[in-house]
Structure 1
Amino acid sequence: MTFSSVQAYYRDEHSDEPSIVRTSEDVDALIDDLATGPEFENLAVLHSSEREPLPSGFPDHEFMVGADGDRQLGVLSFMDARNFVSLGSSESLGGAVTHFVTANPTEFPRTAEIPLALVRQAVKEFLSSGGQRPTCVQWQEPEIW
């Protein structure tokens, strides 16, 4: 199945040329790469090509996807006019979890952690919906952002 294209930034080399994600298989490869790659490159920033940019030329949205392969958990955030992070189904011990885009840390509330299978499903929905916030995930407005 082919989806609209999404630009993904998660490695140093993507600052000049992003990775392009177009298919369900590309999503699986992206999540696998985040989950098994370098410790300080386990978070990707995604922008859909289907959404109109702001007058400045910058994207009007940002979808962040983090993956922890050892724990088989991930995190999501979606930003446009409002900011949201994923909401896990179980109670957490509190605190934060940190994911990294090219060694730059981003903290998420621990309650944002969801199973990697749901992360995959959400990214596939983001692609197929033309860059809309996925509905397969419950969302919360983070206090720390």
Structure 2
Amino acid sequence: MVDLEAWYDEEQDDAVTVRTPGELDAVLDTVAAWDGRIIVHLKPARPVDMNMRRRTLDVGVHGKADRGALVYNAPDGRWFSKAASDTNANQDERILYYYMNSDTEYPADAEIPLDVVRRAAHEYLTMEGQRPTASTWQTPPAWYPTAG
């Protein structure tokens, strides 16, 4: 298990440190009670090397809809959560999640059940920043901006 920093509220001066599953649930419960699609940015609090520092998980929470979305970033790439294959989302459709009042586009088929999002966040906590297995993953769509 690795301690995480959680960033999600534009009023935060410092990260909320998450050390236990209960502390992670408290953060996710807080955000799930808010209106709209909100991102909780999670990253290792004390990374042992540069690669660990760059393994982050953005946990999108849309509590009232019982849905969410994930973005996992690592040195070898970026992945979005992927809804079940029977979803009829167009490749160009987008939804907005908000990180500290800044909008972030996600593929429409990145929304998945909130319980899967929560399981993935818990895996990230216990697997020391590795990409969670609770979700199916997809690479970013062609319209998604690349780092540069």
Q: Which bracket does the TM-score occupy, shorter chain normalised?
A: 0.7 to 0.9
Unaligned runs of 5+ in 1: none
Q: Distance in 2 between matches of 1:37 and 1:73?
A: 13
- Distance change >3 Å, CA 35–CA 92, structure 1 → 2: farther
User: Alignment partner for residue 47 of structure 1, among 30, 38, 43?
Assistant: 43
Equivalences, count: 139
TM-score by length of 2: 0.84
Asked if 1 retains the 8 angstrom alpha-carbon contact of 2:56 and 2:129, the reply is: no
Instruction: Give the RMSD, CA atoms, in angstroms.
Output: 2.0
Q: Is the 8 A contact 1:50 1:131 kept in 2?
A: no
Matching residue within 118, 126, 133 for 1:135? 133
Q: Which secondary structure state, in structure 2, belongs to the residue aligned with residue 108 of structure 1?
A: strand
Of 85-94 and 71-80, the range deviating more from structure 2: 85-94
Cα distance in structure 1, aligned partners of 2:112 and 2:62? 10
1:107 aligns with 2:101: no
**Cα pair 1:24 1:124 within 8 Å, conserved:** yes
**Which structure 2 segments of 5+ residues have no match?**
none
Contact kept, 8 Å, 2:2 with 2:128, in 1: the verdict is: yes
Task: Quote the Cα distance in structure 1 between the aligned partners of 2:35 and 2:10.
Answer: 11
* 2:83 aligned residue (80, 84, 88): 88
**Cα distance in 2 for residues equivalent to 1:104 and 1:11:** 11
Q: Is the 8 A contact 2:55 2:130 kept in 1?
A: no
Distance verdict in 2 for CA 1:103–1:19, change over 3 Å: same
Question: Does structure 2 retain, via aligned residues, the 8 Å contact 1:122–1:136?
Answer: yes
Tell me if structure 1 keeps the 8 A contact 2:68–2:112: yes
TM-score, reference length from structure 1: 0.86
